[in-house]
Structure 1
């Protein structure tokens, strides 16, 4: 089915206090914070990486698989009614993840 650009625009608007960016990948999207992939948007649903900080910020959040073969993620549905909780969870994910590896220079 794929995620629509309207869904991404709505999510980025809802979570506007964060400097999130998005990148389209295989018809779906990845959300970046501080250069780190913190969430995926697949079939118009928001999936957060299940880091310890995100799980603590959203303790009752259901889980799901964003695509076949993926690891289990936090499936953010009702929590979007309280964007501040989701923003806290996204900040926690970014804090829990290691810094991105520097890109190798082209030769």
Structure 2
């Protein structure tokens, strides 16, 4: 099931204070970027954040699930998705640990 645009817009609004946030459509779902760095996915109207040590400590009681079949588990954000300040802070914390996006060389 593809994610609903209203849910994507809601998530984007909730995390607007975490940096320059963009969403890119990928196979009916969405990759979520902050300042050009991929940090999460929206799949089946659920928000998944890439796992980091600092993010795990910040969340506390982490729920992990794969965003799609065959994917590695990510942090599934459910209960606190409506807490914009908490969610934005989680993303800022996570971004510090995530590797920078590799630029593709032109052929």
**TM-score when normalising by structure 2:** 0.91
Aligned equivalents of 2:87, 2:14: Cα separation in 1 = 10
Counterpart for residue 68 of structure 1:
69
TM-score normalised per structure 1:
0.91
Counterpart CA distance in 1 for 2:59 and 2:86 is 7
Number of residue pairs matched by the alignment? 106
Deviation per CA, 1:28-83: give whole Å up to 9, x if none: 00100121110100000000111112111211131111000000111000011322
Unaligned runs of 5+ in 1: none
Q: Corresponding residue for 1:2? A: 2
User: Unpaired segments of 5 or more residues in structure 2?
Assistant: none
Deviating 4+ runs (over 6 angstroms): none
Q: Does the aligned pair in 1 maintain the 2:14–2:83 contact within 8 Å?
A: no
Distance 1:94 1:77 in 2: 20
SS at match of 1:79: coil
Q: 1:94: which partner in 2?
A: 95
CA distance in 2, matches of 1:50, 1:69: 16
> 2:4 and 2:106 mapped to 1: Cα distance?
34
Indicate the residue corresponding to 2:13 in structure 1. 13
